[in-house]
Amino acid sequence: MVGRYRSAEEREALELEAARRFLKARSTDSEQDWDEALAWAGEDPAHGFAFAKAEASWELTERLREGHPDLRPAMAVPLVETGTAAGWISGRIGRRGVIGLIAATMVGVIATVTIQLQGSVDRYRTALGEEREVRLADGSILHLNTDTSVEVALRDDARRIQLLKGEARFDVAHDTARPFLVTAGSATVRAVGTAFNVRLRSDLTELTVIEGMVAVQDGASRSSRVGAGTGAAIRSGTVAVTPLAPASVKQRMAWQNGLIEFDGDTLAQAVEEFNRYRASPLVIGDPQLASLRIGGTFRAQKSADFVNALEVGFGIRAIEGHDNSIILVPATARE
């Protein structure tokens, strides 16, 4: 490291700041956070060097943990932000251990590895309410739902996808020499040639297998096999596999046709679904309404039709807020 960062403490602080900026941008995957991170990296050659090490270290440890799950607790990622650069910690090793691991691993090959990684990792995203189809070089197809972000790395030994947020369907081209690995949260789905859907919910990862068979692992848990017509709820090292009726699979995949289907879902669940496509939310103004059961098929982009159906069929009144939100209250409620 050259320039004004001469002492070990200054270099350590710089590398911690680079890690913070990289992981913040990667976790949100917003244009603003990436622009801010890259602008900081361009301010000084030392910034750029530290930022490249942070990105390369992430990629390297992702590869290592897939090949050696028992190493995961002691790796340098994921890091946890506690409010300042000095507050970063990782697994069983402390701050100095993180920097030492990164430096010892990457100093000799940092330039080569960074160039290779920058050339092989592609990012795709959708805006709120947008859907997108991405055809990969191997013939696989990604279908991205609203407000979704993924990273794709097609390599000689494997095809690696990171679902950063949202929901995606994966139609995987058959290639026995290169398994197709999708990581979502702490879960990893392994496939060769199949079709499946992964959704990152706030409290768990939801898997739906449409064709073929996949293997699922969450953290250090044992791998579970999930076949076509089956779903899995994945959380905290547990993979709960459940068979799905054809109607349930159809309901989960309705988004690909721009639809949202309800069959006995609660109003709270219905509102949550529509809010995935709205800039301003639907809000349940009376808790007693939350448990109402809803049925029907609606256009995802036509939440007004859903609100009209509530007003006609359920005695609910919709009040528009100043922020374009819609508050749902009993028809007897006064403004």
Q: In this structure, what CATH number is given to the domain that contains residue 142?
A: 2.60.120.1440
Q: Residue 67 sits in which domain range?
A: 8-118
Cα angle, residue 244 at apex, residues 239 and 249 outer, rounded to 5°: 110
Name the domain boundary from 199, 215, 249: 249
> Is the residue at 245 inside a domain?
yes
| Position 218 in a domain | yes
Q: Are residues 211 and 107 in the same domain?
A: no
In the chain, how many domains are there? Answer: 3
Domain for residue 239, yes or no?
yes
DSSP class of residue 93 equals B
Q: Which of 33-42, 135-144, 241-250, 274-283 has the lowest mean pLDDT?
A: 33-42
The pLDDT value recorded for residue 80 is: 36
Instruction: Please check whether residue 2 lies inside any domain of the structure.
Output: no
Tens digits of residue pLDDT in 281-327: 999 999 999 999 999 999 999 999 999 999 999 999 999 999 999 99
In this predicted structure, the answer to whether residue 215 has a pLDDT above a threshold of 70 is yes
- Which one has a higher pLDDT value, 177 or 82? 177
Of 89, 118, 147, which closes a domain?
118
C-alpha–C-alpha distance, residues 109 and 1, integer Å: 15
Of 213, 231, 249, the domain-final residue: 249
DSSP string, 151-186: EEEE-SS-EEEEEEESEEEEEPPP-TTS-EEEEETT
Q: pLDDT at position 86, please? A: 32
Task: Considering only residues 32 and 280, tell me which one the structure prediction assigns the higher pLDDT.
Answer: 280
Domain assignment present for residue 3? The answer is: no
Structure-model confidence comparison of residues 100 and 88, the more confident one: 100
Q: Among 130-144, 158-172, 217-231, which stretch is predicted with the lowest mean pLDDT?
A: 217-231
Which helix (H) or strand (E) segment holds residue 141: the answer is strand 141-144
pLDDT confidence band for 84 (50 / 70 / 90): very low
List pLDDT tens digits, range 139-176: 999 999 999 999 999 999 999 999 999 999 999 999 99
User: Does the structure show a pLDDT above 80 at 262?
Assistant: yes
